[in-house]
């Protein structure tokens, strides 16, 4: 058995109404460490009954508890205490995250800082929140009364789990919602930290609830529960489609951050070394298990051969190693099921394109979910490895000649999450960025973003935008309140009837 991180619980349990509990059914599921695929802990497997209890607790906390009614400044204090507590646990979180997900320890570090930043950022936003007010002089004032939506169901994936959970928890809680979180079943470990963090920092009981378990049972019950007002989901596109359908009967609000197959478009005049570094990091960091990975690299013909050679040479030197080793650049993929899926794409790629680096398991790791950084060149647009999200350390490189062809290739997939454009020509950079069908485009940069910017995809990559005020908009309702200032002029039905000069008639069209 590999070295377990310190402070690990004996088993992973749900957290409902301020208490750690087992499943009503007593069921559990196995959790594996990607380094060896040994079962290292069991987690409570929630289903409808557990979700019902969690939603009831969240509903009570919303309807009767102090959280939704608190002044923004009071919530700000608690949210900042949460951020302090998260930051203080960076090392502990990194150790857990690396052990549970297989992420290299150096990349797991710093996740706490980013998670904490999410809490600080949304705390600041709610104290600075402004809302619209309109006046019709002497007649009416109209203003927006912003209210938390209610009980938020948060469903998250296994890549950087804690950070992605914070990305939903922070705006939901800042907005005054109460929540039920359903973490990913591959990686439930780090979510246990939330319990301690929230208890220490004074979040009222029932505001945060968590049910572990599989998507088809626990996740499904959360989506279908009629007392859950909205679902924020991050995960695969096909899961998103199913959740979309399952939200329809109860007409829930939805936000969906889904899969990607993001292009990096590199023109002849680009800063060659910067583009090389960035696209290597873009696809091999976080084990390639990142939604915004630059997994399709489109390179202009003039530099294509040189780029492919340089890329393959560097990829072959990316250090694959144990997640706990501080020199490791590429760790172990999250789970044997996912590993098999990624391997099947590698095999498909060998028949579709030219393998120039990697292509299988490293010799020194006969067990665990290790894969060499894998690079395919001359990948045709019809190839599965060009079209489908692999979500691992596998990249497809394709040549193009003209700007038009680059745009056409970039857009020729069903996804539209991120894109990266590399060129020294400012006008071309913007023209190409605008023409690419992606929710987010980086010019001469990899994925670095200010928390105020929108985050989200188009096409099969998502629905709705979060990020900055958009997240607060999602977790709140904008109720419009209209107040009459003067006398009310109403057409007097049943009394005097219509008069052509009646000013109230003009408002019938004011829907």
Binding site for ligand NAD (CB under 6 A): 155-159, 164, 182, 184-185, 214-216, 219-220, 223, 234-236, 239, 242-243, 257-260, 291, 389, 391, 417, 457, 462
Active site residue 177: no
Q: Which residue is nearest to ligand NAD (CB)?
A: 215
DSSP 424: S
| Shortest Å distance, C-beta 243 to ligand NAD | 5
Instruction: Tell me the two tokens of residue 63.
Output: 């309807």
Question: In sequence order, what E strands does 13-120 have?
Answer: 14-16, 19-21, 28-33, 38-44
| Shortest Å distance, C-beta 238 to ligand NAD | 7
Q: Which is nearer to ligand NAD, 68 or 157 (CB)?
A: 157
Q: Which is nearer to ligand NAD, 292 or 423 (CB)?
A: 292
Q: Which is nearer to ligand NAD, 29 or 469 (CB)?
A: 29
Q: Is there a contact between 291 and 417 (Cβ–Cβ < 8 Å)?
A: yes
Distance, C-alpha 495 to centroid of its chain: 59
| Shortest Å distance, C-beta 170 to ligand NAD | 15
Q: Which is nearer to ligand NAD, 53 or 291 (CB)?
A: 291
| Shortest Å distance, C-beta 77 to ligand NAD | 29
How far is Cα 236 from Cα 369, in angstroms, rounded to an integer?
Answer: 20
Instruction: Tell me the two tokens of residue 415.
Output: 């996804």
Helix (H, G, I), strand (E, B) or coil at 299: strand
| Shortest Å distance, C-beta 233 to ligand NAD | 6
Strand order in the sheet with 133-136: 133-136, 140-148, 476-484
| Residue from 196, 183, 243 nearest 92 by CA | 196
User: In the chain, what are the helix, strand and coil shares in percent, each to the nearest 5?
Assistant: 40, 20, 40
| Residue from 305, 411, 318, 397 nearest 362 by CA | 318
Active-site residue (options: 291, 329, 352, 389): 291
Q: Which is nearer to ligand NAD, 103 or 429 (CB)?
A: 103
Active-site residue (options: 35, 97, 185, 257): 257
| Shortest Å distance, C-beta 48 to ligand NAD | 12
| Shortest Å distance, C-beta 254 to ligand NAD | 12
How far is Cα 434 from Cα 48, in angstroms, rounded to an integer?
Answer: 45
> Mind spelling out the 3-state secondary structure of 194-222?
HHHHHHHCCCCCCCEEECCCCHHHHHHHH
| Residue from 172, 423, 143 nearest 303 by CA | 423
Active site residue 291: yes
192's enclosing H/E stretch is helix 192-200
| Shortest Å distance, C-beta 446 to ligand NAD | 16
Helix (H, G, I), strand (E, B) or coil at 392: coil
How far is Cα 242 from Cα 235, in angstroms, rounded to an integer?
Answer: 11
DSSP 413: S
Q: Which is nearer to ligand NAD, 341 or 428 (CB)?
A: 341
Helix (H, G, I), strand (E, B) or coil at 388: coil
Helix (H, G, I), strand (E, B) or coil at 119: helix
Q: Which is nearer to ligand NAD, 97 or 389 (CB)?
A: 389
| Shortest Å distance, C-beta 184 to ligand NAD | 4
Instruction: Tell me the two tokens of residue 266.
Output: 């590199």
Q: Is there a contact between 212 and 12 (Cβ–Cβ < 8 Å)?
A: yes
Phi and psi for 19 in degrees, rounded to 5? -135, 145
Contacts of 100 (CB under 8 A, 6+ apart): 31, 33, 161, 187, 188, 189, 190
Q: Which is nearer to ligand NAD, 267 or 391 (CB)?
A: 391
Q: Which is nearer to ligand NAD, 75 or 290 (CB)?
A: 290
How far is Cα 25 from Cα 11, in angstroms, rounded to an integer?
Answer: 16
Helix (H, G, I), strand (E, B) or coil at 426: helix
| Shortest Å distance, C-beta 444 to ligand NAD | 22
Residue owning tokens 């109230």: 504
Give catalytic residues, as residue numbers: 257, 291
């Amino acid at each position: 058995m590999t070295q377990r991180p310190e402070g690990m619980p004996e088993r992973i349990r749900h957290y409902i109404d301020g208490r750690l509990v087992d499943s009503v059914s007593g069921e559990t599921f196995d959790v594996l460490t990607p380094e060896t695929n040994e079962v290292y802990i069991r987690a409570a497997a929630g289903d409808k009954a557990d979700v019902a209890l969690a939603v009831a607790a969240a509903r009570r906390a919303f309807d009767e508890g102090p959280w939704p009614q608190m002044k923004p400044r009071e919530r700000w204090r608690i949210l900042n205490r949460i951020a302090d507590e998260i930051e203080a646990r960076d090392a502990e979180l990194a150790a857990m995250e690396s052990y549970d997900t297989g992420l290299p320890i150096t990349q797991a570090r710093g996740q706490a800082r980013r998670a904490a930043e999410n809490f600080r950022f949304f705390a600041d936003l709610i104290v600075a929140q402004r809302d619209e007010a309109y006046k019709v002089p002497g007649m009416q004032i109209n203003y927006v009364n912003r209210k938390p939506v209610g009980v938020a169901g948060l469903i998250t994936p296994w890549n950087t789990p804690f950070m992605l959970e914070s990305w939903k928890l922070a705006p939901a809680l800042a907005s005054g919602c109460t929540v039920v979180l359903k973490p990913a079943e591959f990686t439930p470990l780090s979510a246990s930290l939330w319990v301690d963090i929230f208890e220490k920092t004074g979040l009222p009981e029932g505001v945060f609830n968590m049910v572990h378990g599989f998507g088809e049972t626990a996740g499904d019950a959360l989506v279908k529960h009629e007392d859950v007002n909205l679902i924020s989901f991050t995960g695969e596109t096909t899961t998103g489609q199913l959740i979309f359908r399952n939200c329809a009967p109860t007409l829930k609000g939805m936000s969906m951050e889904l899969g990607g197959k993001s292009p990096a478009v590199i023109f002849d005049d680009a800063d060659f070394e910067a583009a090389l570094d960035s696209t290597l990091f873009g696809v091999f960091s976080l084990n390639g298990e990142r939604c915004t990975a630059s997994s399709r690299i489109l390179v202009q013909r003039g530099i294509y051969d040189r780029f492919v050679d340089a890329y393959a040479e560097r990829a072959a030197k990316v250090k694959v190693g144990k997640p706990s080793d501080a020199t490791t650049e590429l760790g172990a993929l999250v789970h044997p099921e996912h590993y098999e899926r990624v391997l099947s794409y590698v095999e498909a790629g060998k028949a579709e394109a030219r393998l120039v680096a990697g292509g299988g398991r490293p010799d020194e790791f006969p067990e665990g979910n290790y894969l060499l950084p894998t690079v395919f060149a001359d990948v045709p647009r019809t190839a599965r490895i060009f079209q489908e999200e692999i979500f691992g350390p596998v990249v497809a490189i394709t040549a193009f000649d003209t700007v038009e062809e680059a745009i056409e290739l970039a857009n020729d997939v069903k996804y539209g999450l991120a894109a990266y454009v590399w060129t020294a020509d400012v006008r071309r950079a913007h023209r190409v960025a605008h023409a690419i069908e992606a929710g987010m485009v980086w010019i001469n940069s990899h994925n670095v973003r200010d928390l105020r910017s929108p985050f989200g995809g188009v096409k099969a990559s998502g629905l709705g935008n979060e990020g900055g005020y958009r997240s607060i908009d999602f977790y709140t309702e904008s109720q419009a309140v209209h107040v009459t200032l003067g006398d009310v002029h109403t057409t007097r039905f049943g009394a005097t009837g219509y008069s052509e000069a009646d000013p109230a008639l003009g408002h019938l069209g004011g829907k």
